[in-house]
A and B are shown apart, each in its own frame.
Chain A
Amino acid sequence: MAQATLNGQVVDDGGLTCDVRFEWGASAQYGLKTPWQGGFTSGMMFSATIYNLASGLLYHFRAVARNSKGISYGQDMSFVTLVEPGIPVLLDDAALLRFLEV
């Protein structure tokens, strides 16, 4: 099974320490979330590794930060997991197009 490390950065903590995490999934609706990580301030990088990903699939993710004043989302990004040799990959036309766009 594949894995990936998601990365993000707190651009501005808004004057308060932040909690951060990622939302991710097979589409831009995400659906899955990494656990919150606490204690982040402006400029700090953060990451989370996700496992058990399907091979040769496109995944979306975005960084999320929150403090007592609100919650913010980073821009959507995506990646495609590698195709393991010898394992057939079924792609519909839409998936193929997304793959080719990456």
Chain B
Amino acid sequence: MAYGDIAGLIDSYAFAAFCYTPNISHVDGNVYAIAYYQPIANQGILITLTVNPDGTIPPAIIDTHIFYAGILTEPTITKVGANVFVIAYMPAIGPFRGRLDTIQIADDGTIGAAIDTLDIFVAGITWWTRRTNPINVSGDVWIFATQENGALELRTISISPAGNIGAPISQTTMVVLGNMEFSVAHVQDNLYAVIVYGNNPLQNATVRTFTISDAGVISAEIASLVLEVSGYIQKPQLSHIAGNVWGAFYTAPPGAGVGRVRTFTINDDGTFGGLIDVFDFEANPSWVSAPIQRTDTNLFTFFYSAPSWIEIHTLTIQDDGTIGAITSTLVIPTIAGQAENNIFKGDDVYIISAFAYPMGPGLGIIGTFGVSTKLPVVSTLPASDIVVPGIGVSGQATLNGQLDYDAGEICACGFEWGATPPLGTTTTTQGQNAGDSFSEAITGLAPGTYYFRAFAETDWIKVYGSTLSFKVESLKPSVATLPATGVT
């Protein structure tokens, strides 16, 4: 298994015959909760089940709770306290088009009674949350993003860890017309970003920044960055890459018909530094549809749905926003498919919740898979054959290293060395496999102390051994007396 390889489906379990947009949350230990909409009965369902650390899934539901969801609502379930969760959804009837229910779920998966409920009136169609889970701002303050009556509404609401819901604290409307796709991300401190697109009329797909105070007051929009001009994008997701660099994952305009990743910078003050890189990973996917999972420092796992299968990809994005190629792909055949959420669970095990779409048969499934994040391991060994410089002899040394683990790939191994860190000189490299030792002679050394470290590099990653030093000794000089001249 090479770094970034997807190990394949470990296990799967069909938890529902009719399912729409399952959203999954961790309860405790091996217990997970899934909230979804059941089209045939027009109701929301919350279930709990077990996923073992090794990725096996016992085929049994622990407990079930029904909530009165409206048609095609896309519920989310989010942990707000030790054993308290909030379900956000669109209720089936009544003038209240957005509803929050808090509910208790015990560590063993037993679902308790509802704790509190908040209805929010919206005089129009509300697609409550559109799969965007609320984010905790500070203390009891949570930010919810909703699509309401042709605008994007950002609303802060107080929810205590015990599940008591307060009245909305603050609300900011961002003009986005039509049916929206969006998601919200916490950038840093009080800075947040939302990626959003509206389809009526065809609008620019943008990332917009705003702040939320610790008390929950939402600011007006600070700045926006256009990702696609008049671009019809679907299922946009934001993911932090490193520093001020962010990535947006989405399905690009149908004309282009690709899954697209763009990187860009968000400055500390909420302004944008511009687009950095773009990568189109697949022609004509149905849609990118699950949150991006940071799998390792520069490795990201994400999902998309194709007409009759689900694909999981791993992709590298460097700290500077440079996007690499797809490193690995896992195809899960379905009648039709849509992945909705994934959760990091253990060392290498991930969970995907998905459903077959459209409705019939609308099978709800969860599956587990692994992603190898084992990096090559290289050791720096002491330098040898150190030659002291002298007449006609250059100072020399042989740098030594060993590739202890190759992560399934031939690694380009070499050394970085210099008189002082950072080590400014790089030797040529040699292709090595696990267990191979390698050496490189360096010449032209003056007496002094030198530092070096071995490295191993694959197409995706570069790892280093520890930094060692060696000393090129000096000697006392040798001098010749020559005959005197000019003697008078």
Q: Is B365 an interface residue (CB 8 A)?
A: no
Q: Is the CB of B481 within 8 A of A14?
A: no
Q: Is A29 an interface residue (CB 8 A)?
A: no
Q: Is the CB of A42 within 8 A of B391?
A: yes
Known: A3-B486, A6-B484, A77-B484. A72 touches B478 (CB 8 A): yes
Q: Is the CB of B487 within 8 A of A61?
A: no
Q: Contact check: which of B391, B480, B481, B487 meets A4 at CB < 8 Å?
A: B487
| CB within 8 Å of A: which B445-470 residues | 446-447
Residues of chain A contacted by B486 (CB below 8 angstroms): 3-5, 49
Distance A43 CA – B389 CA, assembled complex (angstroms):
14
Residues of chain A contacted by B395 (CB below 8 angstroms): 15
Distance A61 CA – B480 CA, assembled complex (angstroms):
11
Q: Is the interface of A mostly helix, strand, loop or mixed?
A: strand
Q: Is the CB of B481 within 8 A of A63?
A: yes
Q: Is B93 an interface residue (CB 8 A)?
A: no
Interchain nearest-CB distance for B394 vs A (Å): 11
Q: A26-64 toward B: CB 8 Å interface, digit per residue (1/0)?
A: 000000000000000011010101000000000101111
Distance A10 CA – B447 CA, assembled complex (angstroms):
17
Residues of chain A contacted by B389 (CB below 8 angstroms): 15
Q: Is the CB of B474 within 8 A of A75?
A: no
Interchain nearest-CB distance for B461 vs A (Å): 39
Q: Contact check: which of B473, B475, B478, B481 meets A61 at CB < 8 Å?
A: B481
Known: A80-B487, A81-B488. A7 touches B482 (CB 8 A): yes
Q: Is the CB of B484 within 8 A of A8?
A: no
Distance A17 CA – B89 CA, assembled complex (angstroms):
80
Known: A14-B390, A15-B390, A43-B391. A5 touches B484 (CB 8 A): yes
Q: Is the CB of B474 within 8 A of A20?
A: no
**B389 nearest in chain A by CB position:** A15
Interchain nearest-CB distance for B386 vs A (Å): 12
Distance A64 CA – B479 CA, assembled complex (angstroms):
7
Q: Contact check: which of B478, B483, B485 meets A11 at CB < 8 Å?
A: B478
Q: Is the CB of B447 within 8 A of A15?
A: yes
Distance A90 CA – B198 CA, assembled complex (angstroms):
118
Q: Is the CB of A79 within 8 A of B484?
A: yes
**A1 nearest in chain B by CB position:** B488
Distance A81 CA – B484 CA, assembled complex (angstroms):
11
Q: Is the CB of B478 within 8 A of A8?
A: no
Known: A14-B390, A16-B474. A5 touches B485 (CB 8 A): yes
Q: Contact check: which of A5, A67, A75 meets B480 at CB < 8 Å?
A: A75
Distance A62 CA – B472 CA, assembled complex (angstroms):
30
Q: Is B169 an interface residue (CB 8 A)?
A: no
Q: Is A25 an interface residue (CB 8 A)?
A: no
* Residue from the set A2, A8, A12, A70 with the largest chain B CB neighbour count within 10 Å: A12
Q: Contact check: which of A42, A49, A63 meets B482 at CB < 8 Å?
A: A63
Residues of chain A contacted by B482 (CB below 8 angstroms): 7-9, 45, 63, 77
**A40 nearest in chain B by CB position:** B477
Q: Is the CB of A7 within 8 A of B483?
A: yes
Known: A15-B388, A16-B447, A49-B486. A72 touches B477 (CB 8 A): yes
Q: Is the CB of B484 within 8 A of A12?
A: no
Q: Contact check: which of B388, B446, B481, B488 meets A77 at CB < 8 Å?
A: B481
Distance A80 CA – B477 CA, assembled complex (angstroms):
29
Distance A41 CA – B60 CA, assembled complex (angstroms):
83
Residues of chain A contacted by B390 (CB below 8 angstroms): 12, 14-15, 42
Q: Is the CB of A13 within 8 A of B477?
A: yes
Interchain nearest-CB distance for A34 vs B (Å): 12
Residues of chain B contacted by A18 (CB below 8 angstroms): 477, 479
Q: Is the CB of B483 within 8 A of A12?
A: no
Q: Is the CB of B487 within 8 A of A82?
A: yes
**A2 nearest in chain B by CB position:** B488
Listed A/B pairs (28) with beta-carbon separation below 8 Å: A3-B487, A3-B488, A7-B483, A9-B479, A9-B482, A11-B477, A12-B391, A12-B475, A12-B478, A14-B475, A14-B478, A15-B390, A15-B447, A15-B475, A16-B474, A63-B482, A65-B477, A68-B474, A69-B474, A69-B476, A70-B475, A71-B476, A72-B476, A73-B479, A74-B479, A74-B481, A77-B483, A82-B488
Q: Told that A5-B486, A12-B391, A67-B476 touch, could you supply 11 new A-B pairs with CB distance under 8 A? A: A4-B486, A8-B480, A14-B476, A14-B477, A18-B477, A43-B391, A65-B477, A69-B475, A74-B481, A76-B481, A82-B488
